[in-house]
Structure formats: C-alpha cells, structure tokens
Structure 1
Amino acid sequence: MSTTTPATSLATPDYPTLVREMREYQFPMPIRRKPVIADGLPKPAMFNLVHILVGMRRSGKTFHLFQLIQDLLKAGTPRENIFYFNFSDERLQPMPDDVLQQVLDEFWRQVPAARKQGAYVFFDEIQEANHWQGFCQRIAEHENVTMVVTGSSSKLSSQEIATNFRGRSYSHEVLPLSFREYCKFHDIETPEVGADSFSPQTATAMESAFDRYLIDGGFPGIQSMPAEAKTDMLQSYMRDVVARDVAERMGNSDIAAANQIALFALRNTACELSVNNLAAQLDQLGYRMYWTKARGILDLLEQAFLCFEVGEYTTTLKPKSTTPKIYAVDPGLVYAVSRANQQDIGKRLETAVYLELRRRQSGRRTDFITSLTLPDVQGEKVDFVVGDALGAEPYQAIQVTANMSNEKTKMRETRSLNAAMKRMKNIKGTIITLRQKDSLASNLDGRNIEVIPAWQWALQD
C-alpha cells in the first residue's frame, strides 16, 4: 500500500510580534552626516513624494534613516507616529507577495491614531519585497504619510525608479563618507567652512588625515577596524555587489566574469574605459566575453553604485569621444582591491575629487560633471568641467595631480587649463594637489589659476 506525504504549508511571519518589536526599537544616535534630503521631510499628507535613499551596499543608508528619525523625535514628533521596519529580517522568509501590506496593516491595527494623525513610514531594504514600487506609490497617494525607503540593488537604480514611479518619487544618493565626515568619525577637528588661512599645525594635521582618507576610504562600517580587517571587509563589499546585484539580473554563471570586470573597473579608476579592450582582455583570460555582455555587466555595476562613468563635455548631441572615464565609488575600495604595483595615489586622489564633486552637484543634470578633450593636435585633457553643458554654461575647469613640483607636470596641467579657459569665457581654473597651494597667472583677462591642496578644497563645502 502506497503512502503519500501530506503537503506542508509555508509558515506565515508573525507580523504582530515583528511590528511591535520595531515599535519598541531604540534607534541609535548616529554620528551626524550631511543630510541627503536637503530641505528635510514634509509633514505627512496624501500625495507626498516617496523619498528613496539609494547607493551602494554599506554606504550608510540605514543610519541616514536613523538620523532622520532622531531629527523628528528631537522636533517633537510622537514616537508612535514613526514606524521603521527592515525587510531584510530573516523571520519574514519565505516572504509572501503581500508582506508590505501585511506589515503596514499591522501597524495601523496597533496604532490606529497614527493613520488619522499622519505617520512617518521608514522601510529599509525594501527591494527584498516584491512589487514594492506599486505598493509605495499607492500608499503615498491614499494614506496620510511621509514615506522614506532605502535599498541596495540595481532594482533601485535611477532607471528603475524613473520607469516605475512616473514622477511620484524623489531619489537621494548616499555616497560613502566625505572627507569632513571622515574626520568627524575619527574625532579629528576640522576648520570651519569658509576658512582660508591655516596654521602650520592645522595644515599638517589635515594633510595626514587626507592621506589616510585616500587609503581607508569612506565606508562607515570599516572606520574602527584594524588595517588588515579593513582590506578584507572592503573586498567583501565588492564581492557582495557582484553576487547580489549582478547575479540576480544575469545569473550565477556570470559571477566569475562579473568579478573580473568589477576588479578592472576599480583598479582602472580615473582612466578611460574601452569596452572593446575590456572584452578582448577577458577573452584572452578564458572568459567567453563579447562587447554586449561586457557592456551589460558594466551597466549593472554602475546601477549598483560600484562605479560611475563620466562622459565628454560637448554642446552637440553627438560627442567627439565615446570613451568615458570611469570612477570607483570610494578611494579606499580601490586601495583594497589593487595590487601593490598598481597603487596610484594620483588616481585615488582624482577619484576622491570626483566623488566630492558628485556630492556637491546632487540634483543637477546627469552631465553636469564631464571631462574635456581639447580640440588641438595634442588632444590635451582637462579632468573635470563642472557646469551645464546642455546650457553651455560651464563655470569651472579642474585638473587633479598629486604633485606639481615637477616643472613638466606644472606646464602640462596649466597648459590644458589655459586652453580651456581661453575657449570658455568666465570659467574658473583650479588645480587640486596633495600639498601645493599657489595662484598662477593665466594671462586671460586677469583670471588666475588657483592651486589648492585637496584637503582644503574638500572642506570648502
């Protein structure tokens, strides 16, 4: 006689317990960072925009939520009107399709007054739940809420958000620590914004701190670790992006190739990136690689915020150069994955400058930071042109070099800036170095080229 095994039903998460636990959660007091939501959160109301904090894994999005929550509590918002929930909780597995609605409904059941008075809803790692975009948009349109969500995945890329939210969301990028934030994490006193004169003691202290910043980088979670542990942890961050953000889109069979492309992108930060050359190199190493596949993996790495591409400055629809420069999300990550003979402080310095420009230009057009190849025989380069290329209104040209004491280096950097300043009226020329500070005459309408140490420039904002 045959027997059959009865079907087992999947366990339902204990929503009442999980929600109550989160309602009683004691939010940590994070080291304060510069807010990414510059104007603060609006009061709860129907049809508020959904605020979405995006960025690479471990860049500090959760603690940005805690900072927002602490600000609300400090301003007098009742704790019962604030609901935080993390969807990476393993007790939600297997996660039902309606998990978001179940969690929110349980909160309304436990705190019915919050639904009427208005609630601040913070959903962390929301990409773990299915259909989260439609849920967030529906709740924002039908409930008296202010909703802030975070996620670490290509599912929360700017393209994905634009496609699914149709103008009903506002995304804010969370990058690793800026230099000023890095100093705050290490209890290093920094000059105030706007200071332009410094004692020798302050200058050497800031130079030393910036040197360490280019090695440690800005990921918050590694700041208190020993040097060896920092390297191991940063390498694991890269592998995690590949395993969780790339593989979920392209499949596990491409993880090995994706790891190689991630390493290539990080080790070649601040360099021009040719996808054809990349595909050819990988093919020689035994990976079955072609242009479309390599391009697709690079796109996913950028959508996961591991790296960024910077295009050529142009006022035409078709740029002269189709080879962008690539920049890593963090100089410390570059240091951690690069071999000893590949360590280039100049490239990490240029990467740190790009990331600081990216922080300062948040909310601008996507091409607000570009590079420039001058239309001359030498094809000289300017590392960054900052300004609206579409509106033909650039306002700053920036060169980055670690050391300008060599006369040939000085001539190369100033020649390119002079050419750019001659071509673009009223543009400001700046050279960012590790140590040097100077003002160089450009012979262009009295405009000088400012030479400024990176630490001082990084603390201007």
Structure 2
Amino acid sequence: MNQTIVEKLRDFRIEDFQPISPRELDLGVPLPPKAGNLVKVIVGMRRSGKSYRLFQEMEFLHASGIGWNRICYFNFEDDRLGDITPATGDEVVETFLSMHPEAMVEGVYLFFDELQEMQDWGGWLRRVVDTTKATIYVTGSSSKMLSKEISSEFRGRALDFELLPFSFREFLLSNEIVGAEVLNRSEDDGYSTKERLILANAMTMYLKIGGFPAAQGLPVPQRVALLQSYVQRVVLRDVIERHDISRPRVASTFARRVLGCNGKTLSVRRIENDMRSIGLKTSRELLGDLAEYFEDAYLLFLVREFSMSLKEGTTSMPKAYAIDPGLAAASSMAGVKDDGQRLENAVYLELRRRTLGFRRDGISSYRTKTHGYEIDFVIGDVLEQEQFEPIQVTVRMDDAKTAERETRALWELMEERSLNEGTLITGEGEEREYRKGDAVIRQIPAWKWFLLR
C-alpha cells in the first residue's frame, strides 16, 4: 500500500482550507452516486481556484447530509507520488473504500484534482465511471480536458465548466470591500455617492491586482513575483514538459512577449523577427504551436475578427488577452501605461464568464466595412446566425473629441448590421446615452457594468 496515498487521504481536513471564498461558478445540482454518472469537469489555469471550488462543493454536500466518510478528495499534483499511472488512481479509490467500506454500498463522491497529471487519465476515468457507484468531479489545467481528450474518451458523458480567476464581484467579496447586499442590489435601486466612489476605486485596484486568490492582499513586489512565477510554472509544466518542447528558452521568451501584447494584435511574424535578432532561432510554425499550447493551458486567449460566413475565414491577426489583468500587469515592462488594455482584457474575461456554452467564436472583434473602424467585441454565434451585441471599451470619456472617436465605430457597425443598440464601457466617465433616430449607444462606467447580472 502506497503510504503517501494513505497519508493524503487520512490527513485531509476541510478545516485546513477554510475560510473558503465562495465562487459564482454554478456546477448544478449534485447527481446521486451511480455507475455511469456524468462527470463534472472544472478546467482553468493553475492557481485560479479550482481546488477551492471543489472544497465549496464538498462543504455543500456535507451540509446537505452527506458524511465525510463518503467524500474522497485527492490531488494528483504531488511530487511524492512519482510517476502517476492508472494504477495510482486505482490505489487511491481502493484505499479510500477500504478505509470507509460503507461508501461502497451508499455510493461515494470522488473529487480528483489536477487529474491531467496521470498518464492515460481519460481511459482510467472512463473505467471508474463505468464500474463505481459514484458521483465524480474532476479538475484539470488544460482546456484539452474538455475538448480533444474528453470528447474522445467520454462523448457526451461529461459536463465541462470553465473557472477563471476572481471576477470583479468575487474580488469585492473576497477583499470585503462591499457586502453581498450591495452586489445583489437591483439596478433600479441605484448606488449612493459613497458607494460609487468605493466601487470605482475598487475597479482600479482590480485591474492592478487581478483575480488570482493567492495574490490578494500581497505587497506589490510579492504579488508581481508570485504572478510571474505562475507564468513560469505554466510554461514549464503545461507547455514545455507536456508537449516536449526542445527549445524551452524560445517558449519562455515567447510567453513574455505575448503577454506583453495584452489587448493588442498578435503578430507572430514580428515576434519571430525580434527573437531572431537577439539570437533565438525559431520559426513561425513553432510560435504558432506555442500560442495554441498557451491557450490550452489557459495562460491567454486569442480573439479573432467576426465573420458572418463560415467560408469567408478572416486572414486578420488575432488579439491576445491574458487570463487575468493582474497577471498581465505583472508581465508588462516597468513604466508601460496599459490601463486601457487591462480594462479591455477584464471586459473580455467577464464576457467569457457570461457566455458559457458559446462556441469559440462567440466573442470576437469586428472591423467595419465602410471605414475599417474597429469594435473591441461583438457577441454572437456565427453558426446560429444570431444577431449580435457590439461592445466598445475605453479608459475615459472626458471630452467631445474622445466621445466622437469612440462612438463612430459603433454607429457605423450598427448601421451596417441594422442594430439599434450598442454598449460603451468606460473606466472613467458617467452613465449617459447617445442617440441617432431609433438607435442608442449606452455608456456605462466599468464598475457598474461588471456588477450587472
């Protein structure tokens, strides 16, 4: 019997991880244990809070009457385990059931953390699902766990959930800046002047600190060092080691350059030329693969231009957005003023939270056909040919010239697509409306937009 497995199972106590900041990611009603159950898979970047979302679910189960003798939690990201194989997983389940044989009869709740560390994890999990009276939750640090790998192993037998670092709402609650009564207030009830100032200031803090749980409350030097270490670990474990990259320095340098492009167009050709100029041999093919691996590891997202026709296929370069505005700030060069890019980054992430279930092109940028003006985001589904919502993001709207520049792209898109509404999110500026006939652009302060349900 593996003593490390025994110790991990025996010594786990939920109290050691409290207080647990509640996350707003809804996993649905827990399924009763049975063989052949759907698996609930939570994916996201390392250290974004996946484990604590499991702990939150475990506390809910216990509060509903499920004893701890039926709840098994195991984290496979542990160097003491050595090479993690299906035999390791078998020993985890067998050891827990030998410690709590009643769980075999009543049904067990299995929580497997960072399961992608196991070789052939998909085949092993499928066998456990088919042969065990269980309700199963899994986390992983790769989007492949809900696309290529999950689809090949489970085909409709898994539900996937994406967990990003703290949203602005979660940031406010975790740091006790305002209470739930403020966040749950109806928009019609409004906010006092004091609340508006507090929330606007908190928005500025959020764009600097970001939403990684462990980064909250740290002094600036420690926070920057921590977030930079997250990037290094993801590049090493989830990219270089996972994909057997033979040029680790190229991968690390490219990660820094891509994160430095946060909220901007990503030109692989330009970065390739820059890297060659400093003596790093690389190719566009390798950098393109690395960008895909970074997306799989949830380090960043690439947003492409909207295309109404599936055959059309845009040749434009994508824009890169970091997994978190605080991580983007920690990865940028000292002295760089990128408030606008980080606000745009945070808006993209919030849109991603609000559009779960969309296909990958559900959030895209848009360039008008008349004058080529750029709109930061349009929300819509090409395959369903849905009408879409245009959103523009700007740091401030403090004069008429800025207002004209920021609204003209929206007006042109709305005219081209016969839309009546557009949204302008501003870091600094009051709530107001711009009208042309029946069409309206609604300007809303960022802090307020992030609190909308």
**Superposed pair shares fold, TM > 0.5:** yes
Q: 2:324 aligns with which of 314, 330, 334?
A: 330
Q: 1:43 aligns with which of 20, 28, 32?
A: 32
- Contact 1:50–1:147 (CA under 8 A) maintained in structure 2: yes
Q: 1:366 aligns with which of 356, 360, 368?
A: 360
Matched, 1:187 2:176: yes
Alpha carbons of structure 1 residues 27 and 70: separation in structure 2 relative to 1, 3 Å: farther
- Contact 1:49–1:170 (CA under 8 A) maintained in structure 2: yes
Alpha carbons of structure 1 residues 391 and 99: separation in structure 2 relative to 1, 3 Å: same
Once the 2 structures are TM-superposed, how far is the Cα of residue 12 of structure 1 from its aligned partner? 4.8
Residue of structure 2 in register with 1:434 after alignment:
427
Alignment-mate amino acid for residue 111 of structure 1: H
Residue of structure 2 in register with 1:404 after alignment:
397
Alpha carbons of structure 1 residues 187 and 438: separation in structure 2 relative to 1, 3 Å: closer
Matched, 1:54 2:54: no
Residue of structure 2 in register with 1:69 after alignment:
58
Give the TM-score taking structure 1 as reference length: 0.92
Once the 2 structures are TM-superposed, how far is the Cα of residue 337 of structure 1 from its aligned partner? 1.3
Helix, strand or coil at the partner of 1:288? coil
- Contact 1:280–1:289 (CA under 8 A) maintained in structure 2: no
Helix, strand or coil at the partner of 1:163? helix
Distance 2:165 2:388 in 1: 26
Distance 2:219 2:68 in 1: 37
Listed as ranges, the matches of 1:221-240 within 5 Å are 221-240=214-233
Distance 1:325 1:444 in 2: 33
Choose 134-143 or 17-26, whichever is displaced more.
17-26
Alpha carbons of structure 1 residues 145 and 299: separation in structure 2 relative to 1, 3 Å: same
The aligned length equals: 448
Residue of structure 1 in register with 2:107 after alignment:
118
Listed as ranges, the matches of 1:192-207 within 5 Å are 192-193=183-184, 194-196=186-188, 197-207=190-200
Q: 2:253 aligns with which of 260, 265, 271?
A: 260
CA RMSD between the two structures:
2.0
Once the 2 structures are TM-superposed, how far is the Cα of residue 330 of structure 1 from its aligned partner? 0.6
- Contact 1:52–1:149 (CA under 8 A) maintained in structure 2: yes
Matched, 1:210 2:200: no
Alpha carbons of structure 1 residues 130 and 426: separation in structure 2 relative to 1, 3 Å: same
Q: 1:344 aligns with which of 338, 347, 364?
A: 338
Residue of structure 1 in register with 2:387 after alignment:
394
Distance 1:444 1:170 in 2: 45
Residue of structure 2 in register with 1:3 after alignment:
none
Residue of structure 2 in register with 1:31 after alignment:
21
Once the 2 structures are TM-superposed, how far is the Cα of residue 373 of structure 1 from its aligned partner? 0.7
Unpaired stretches in structure 2, ≥5 consecutive residues: none
Matched, 1:457 2:449: yes
Distance 1:23 1:117 in 2: 22
Choose 208-217 or 40-49, whichever is displaced more.
40-49
Choose 68-77 or 101-110, whichever is displaced more.
101-110
Q: 1:129 aligns with which of 106, 118, 141?
A: 118
Alignment-mate amino acid for residue 160 of structure 2: S
Alpha carbons of structure 1 residues 203 and 18: separation in structure 2 relative to 1, 3 Å: closer
Helix, strand or coil at the partner of 1:176? coil
Unpaired stretches in structure 1, ≥5 consecutive residues: 1-10
Deviations along 1:395-446, whole A, 9 cap, x unmatched? 311000001213332112211111121223345201000121233333142x
Q: 2:235 aligns with which of 230, 242, 251?
A: 242
Matched, 1:178 2:178: no
Helix, strand or coil at the partner of 2:65? coil
Distance 2:307 2:293 in 1: 26
Listed as ranges, the matches of 1:296-311 within 5 Å are 296-311=289-304
Deviations along 1:173-212, whole A, 9 cap, x unmatched? 1100001111111111152343242221111111111101
Helix, strand or coil at the partner of 1:394? coil
